[in-house]
Amino acid sequence: RAAARLNTAHVAMSLPAVVPRPLARPCARREQPARRHRRAHRQRAGNDSATAPPSVASAEAAALRDELLALLGGGGEGGEGRMARTIDRSRLERLVEQLELLNPTPKPFAAEASMRLLLNEWQLVTTFKPGTADVRFTSPESWRKYIFEQGPSPVQSLVVGAGTVDNVFQVLADPCGSPANGAKWQNVVEFGPPGTSLVIEAAMEGVRDDDSFFYRFCGGYFDVQGTWGGPDGTRVPYPVPFDLLEKLRPGQTKGWFSTTYLDERLRISRGNKGSVFVLKRPAGYWE
């Protein structure tokens, strides 16, 4: 039943209707060491990143960032407070736009320092798009419009108002050198009994420009640890045939994802379908 509730909705990104152009720009290649945290898909700063880097945000940007996180109920130094149930939507959109104009990291792939800010684990705070209010996570019609038309993602209604999902995370690998290097972008929902999560993976397919990369959904699984998963844990394949879906409707499993604001605590991203994603570093990430 938990799997039915989640369906494809946890994926914090959009399935596009247009096949991305075959462009992959070269950029600095580097490895980003990461120590495991709790489970295989959770990644924190590497051993060489034991302390947070110096703040890259201006005083104005830092103030707007703190206001945004407070508005969303996620204020504090990586605090784990749940998102506020009632949001001033117009203020939310204005804060996002103001922060994007003050982005201190416009080229996140350009250097090791900026890649250190970008990679590994992020916690989703909110995602929005015009029309979200009309979307319901449990509605088959909402899912039909999302997959086969240009409708907004039902995950938005799930993240904003539902209590069935405790945490939604993204784990970013280095897109430079993809797809040859096999880098993947993981989207993770932790739910149900402790140690249970749904992981959807997207293969990175090259850097699109200075702040975005191409991706293609390629698979997923339910990850069950602890008592329910047995001594070695259990992985149950996620029953969505992404390759078949791509053959039937070219472009449905592909897209691009850009980073429009980035500092040591906050990331704002936009997908090719127009959705906006606000993410923060989890508590203790830089420890």
Closest among 185, 194, 184 to 279, alpha carbons compared: 185
Helices (H), 162-253: 226-229, 242-248
Q: Tell me: the pLDDT tens digits for 31-64?
A: 433 333 344 455 555 544 457 788 889 999 999 9
Q: How far is CA 175 from CA 110, 122, 171, 180, 239, in A?
A: 12, 16, 12, 10, 26
Write out residues in the chain with pLDDT < 70, as ranges: 1-50, 74-87, 130-139, 142-143, 146-166, 228-229
- Do 165 and 192 touch, CB atoms closer than 8 A? no
The pLDDT of residue 53 is 81
Measured distance CA(47)–CA(8) in Å, rounded: 34
- Give CA separation, 172 vs 45, 121, 162, 215, in Å: 12, 7, 25, 11
pLDDT at 64: 97
Give me the pLDDT at residue 5, please: 39
